């Protein structure tokens, strides 16, 4: 980076080389730096993509598990608990409630499926479960919604990049 920032006339004088050779050298160094930055960004996107795939796999496996249990096996207690709006009891698991209570930014600690559960939860039931006021519960749901939207946008960007990269030919 330092060699690129030095004016090529000074570098040529210092290395006792011609200015065109030094300019070619600086251009080559810049290309190497650019390629490294592209590789770093590609690694980051790949990591995000892999995280998205893991999340998708977890969601699909949970959906498959729920389809295995026939609905007629649910008794009245199960059917009553599935109506989140009918009681102040929340359907959120203990680890979600703990994260919402204890973490300063719980939306960053929860996975996407948990964020969806928080969003689907009735605001009053959420406030009751967290022992806070309704405004705080609404703010928490809004933060979860924003984080979920951000994650969805990242996944869409990854899919777009993947479809774009499939169309390109490999360089020699």
* Residue range(s) defining the domain that contains residue 126: 94-166
pLDDT tens, residue by residue, 72-104: 544 444 444 444 443 445 678 888 888 888 877
70 within a domain of the structure (yes/no) = no
Q: 104 with 158, same domain?
A: yes
pLDDT tens, residue by residue, 112-159: 888 888 888 888 888 888 888 989 889 988 988 998 898 888 888 888
83 within a domain of the structure (yes/no) = no
Q: 49 with 111, same domain?
A: no
Residues 65/69/71/76 CA torsion (nearest 10 deg): -110
- Pick 36 or 98 by higher pLDDT: 36
Listed in sequence order, the DSSP H helices in 69-133 are 76-81, 94-102, 112-120, 123-130
3-class DSSP state for residue 172?
coil
How many Å apart are CA 134 and CA 166, to the nearest integer?
A: 48
Q: 59 with 106, same domain?
A: no
For the chain, the domain total comes to: 2
157 within a domain of the structure (yes/no) = yes
The lowest-confidence range among 18-27, 56-65, 148-157 is 56-65
**Banded pLDDT at 54 (limits 50, 70, 90):** confident
122 within a domain of the structure (yes/no) = yes
How many Å apart are CA 28 and CA 142, to the nearest integer?
A: 48
Q: 101 with 147, same domain?
A: yes
């Amino acid at each position: 980076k330092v060699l690129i920032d030095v004016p090529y006339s000074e570098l040529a004088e210092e290395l006792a080389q011609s200015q065109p050779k030094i300019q070619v050298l600086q251009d080559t160094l810049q290309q190497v730096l650019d390629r490294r930055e592209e590789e770093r960004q590609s690694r980051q996107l790949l990591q995000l993509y892999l995280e998205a795939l893991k999340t998708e796999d977890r969601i699909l496996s949970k959906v498959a598990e729920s389809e295995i249990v026939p609905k007629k096996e649910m008794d009245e207690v199960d059917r009553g608990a599935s109506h989140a709006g009918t009681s102040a009891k929340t359907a959120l698991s203990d680890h979600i409630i703990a994260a919402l209570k204890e973490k300063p930014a719980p939306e960053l600690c929860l996975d996407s499926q948990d964020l969806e559960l928080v969003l689907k939860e009735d605001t009053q039931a959420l406030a009751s479960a967290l022992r806070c006021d309704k405004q705080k519960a609404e703010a928490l749901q809004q933060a979860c919604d924003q984080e979920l939207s951000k994650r969805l946008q990242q996944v869409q960007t990854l899919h777009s990049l993947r479809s774009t990269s499939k169309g390109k030919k490999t360089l020699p």
